[in-house]
Amino acid sequence: MADRTGEEQQAICDHIRTDVLSTEYASLDTTLDPPEYLAFSADYLGQIDFITNKDSLSISDMKTKWTSHKDGCLECEGWSL
């Protein structure tokens, strides 16, 4: 598969934030110091990852949720954890 472009990397990050982990993203308490965050990474090889400082968010659970979502999702096709 061809290398993923910067636009494609940004698009998959946005897709996961808005369509897959929107509940988790909405649960962040941004009034704390430091604020809670949930960041997304994607690279040219088609690998994605999640980064958070919110203790109650499980990276493993979010990966499981994305894996379930991935089946049948055209936007997630070709991406992997």
Partner 1 sequence: MAWTTPKTWNADEIVVANGAGGFNEQIRDNFNALSLHGHTGVPGDGASTLVGVSFSNTTGYGFADQAANPTVNGTVQRNGSTILYYNGTTAVDLTAVDQAANVASLRTLGTGATEAAAGNHQHTITFSGAGNEVQTWGDSNNAWNGTDTGVETCISANYTASSANNVILSACFWMGVTNTFVGSYPAGWMGSTNPPLTFTTTFEYNGAVKKTLSNLTIGGGLNGGIGIPMTSVIFPPNGTNSTLYELKVNKTSTIPDTVILVPRGKLNISEIDGSV
CA 38 – CA 76 distance, rounded (Å): 19
Taking the CA atoms of residue 71, residue 40, residue 30 and residue 64 in that order, the dihedral angle to the nearest 10 degrees is: 30
> Smallest distance, Å, CB 23 to partner 1?
15
> Smallest distance, Å, CB 21 to partner 1?
10
Nearer to partner 1, 49 or 72 (CB): 49
What amino acid occupies position 71?
Answer: D
Nearer to partner 1, 11 or 72 (CB): 11
> Smallest distance, Å, CB 55 to partner 1?
11
Nearer to partner 1, 2 or 71 (CB): 2
Identify the DSSP state of 49.
E
